[in-house]
Amino acid sequence: MVQIEDIENEILSYDYKITRAEKSLEEARQHYEESRSELERAESAHQQKGNSDTERELHKARHGFKMAERGVDSRTRRVEFIRENYGELQADLNKARDAVARGEQRISEQELKIEKMVNTMLARADAAKRQASAKKAAAPVGKPEVPAPSVAAVEPQKPEAAAEPEREIDPELLEYVRGEKDRLAKLLAGGEEGKHTFRTLDLEPSRGESIPFEFLGHNQYRLVAPVESGRQTYEINTWKFRRTIPSDDDGVRYVFIFDGRRLSRPRLVMYPEYVLDYLKD
Query: How crowded is the C-beta side of 140, counted as CA atoms within 13 Å?
Result: 2
Q: Which residue has the higher pLDDT, 207 or 221?
A: 221
Per the CB < 8 A criterion, the answer to whether 31 and 73 are in contact is no
Q: Which residues pair with 242 in a beta bridge?
A: 233
What mean pLDDT value characterizes the chain?
Answer: 84
Question: Which phi and psi (to 5°) does residue 239 adopt?
Answer: -100, 150
pLDDT tier, 34 (very low <50, low <70, confident <90, very high otherwise): very high
96 vs 104: CA distance, rounded Å: 12
Sign, CA torsion 223/224/225/229: positive
Average pLDDT, integer, range 187-193: 77
Q: Quick check: 280 and 250 in contact, CB under 8 A?
A: no
Distance CA 60, CA 23 (A): 26
User: What is each CA distance from 241 to 31, 205, 234, 238, in whole angstroms?
Assistant: 44, 10, 5, 10
Checking DSSP bridges between strand 267-272 and strand 253-259, what pairing results, if any?
antiparallel
Task: Give residue 259's pLDDT.
Answer: 92
Residue range 162-185, pLDDT digits in tens: 455 567 788 888 888 999 999 899
Predicted pLDDT of residue 172: 83
pLDDT tens track for 113-156: 898 889 989 988 888 888 888 877 776 655 555 555 555 544 55
Other Cβ atoms closer than 10 A to 197: 13
Distance in angstroms (rounded) separating the CA atoms of residues 115 and 19? 51
- Whole-number pLDDT of residue 76: 93
Q: Let me know: does 7 contact 96? Beta carbons within 8 Å.
A: yes
76-99 confidence digits (pLDDT tens):
999 998 888 888 888 888 988 888
Residue that wins the pLDDT comparison between 187 and 222 = 222
Please state the rounded mean pLDDT for residues 31-44. Answer: 91
The pLDDT of residue 213 is above 90:
yes
Phi-psi region of 132 (alpha: psi -120 to 50; beta: other; left: phi over 0): alpha
Q: By mean pLDDT, which of 23-32, 40-49, 144-153 is the weakest?
A: 144-153
pLDDT at residue 164, rounded to an integer: 52
DSSP string computed for 136-185 = HHTPPTTSPPPPPPPHHHHSPPPPTTPPPPPPPPPHHHHHHHHHHHHHHH
Contact partners, residue 267, CB within 8 Å, separation at least 6: 6, 258, 259
Q: Note the pLDDT of residue 156.
A: 55
Instruction: Give the distance, in angstroms, between the CA of residue 59 and the centroid of all CA atoms in the same chain.
Output: 54
The lowest-confidence range among 44-53, 189-198, 225-234 is 189-198
Q: What is the pLDDT of residue 33?
A: 93
- Which has more pLDDT, 69 or 208? 69
Note the pLDDT tens digit of each residue in 222-254.
999 999 999 898 999 989 888 889 998 999 999
51 Cα distance to chain centroid = 66
